[in-house]
């Protein structure tokens, strides 16, 4: 339970991802929002695992492929976005 200024709100533990989103969006304080955001993370990870998606490995794979693409494109150098947009090469 959370007590704030004479008002007491009981924190509910959401059973579904949609419920967690609703409770998070309706939160009145940042602490309450953080509490429900943790449940959103937990329920989303559970849903991904049930589908066979490995969240940590997928994220690492994406990061690795982005790094390889940057290295191949600019030999490790990043170009400014306007140079890419205007077609200037290195």
Where do the domains of the chain lie? 2-86
What rounded mean pLDDT belongs to the chain? 75
CA distance 85 to 9: 51
Cβ atoms of 1 and 31 within 8 Å: the answer is no
Prediction pTM value: 0.52
86: pLDDT strictly greater than 60: yes
First-to-last C-alpha distance (Å) of the chain? 58
- Nearest 10 degrees: Cα torsion 62, 57, 21, 13: -160
Alpha helices in the chain (DSSP H): 17-25, 30-51, 55-74, 81-86
Per-residue confidence (pLDDT) for residue 23, from 0 to 100 = 92
């Amino acid at each position: 339970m959370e007590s704030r200024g004479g008002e007491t709100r009981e924190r509910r533990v959401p059973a579904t991802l949609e419920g967690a989103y609703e409770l998070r969006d309706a939160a009145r304080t940042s602490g309450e929002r953080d509490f429900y955001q943790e449940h959103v993370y937990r329920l989303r990870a559970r849903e991904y695992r049930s589908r066979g998606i490995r969240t940590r490995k997928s994220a690492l794979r994406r990061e690795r492929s982005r790094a390889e693409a940057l290295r191949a494109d600019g030999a490790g150098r990043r170009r400014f976005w306007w140079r890419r947009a205007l077609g200037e090469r290195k």
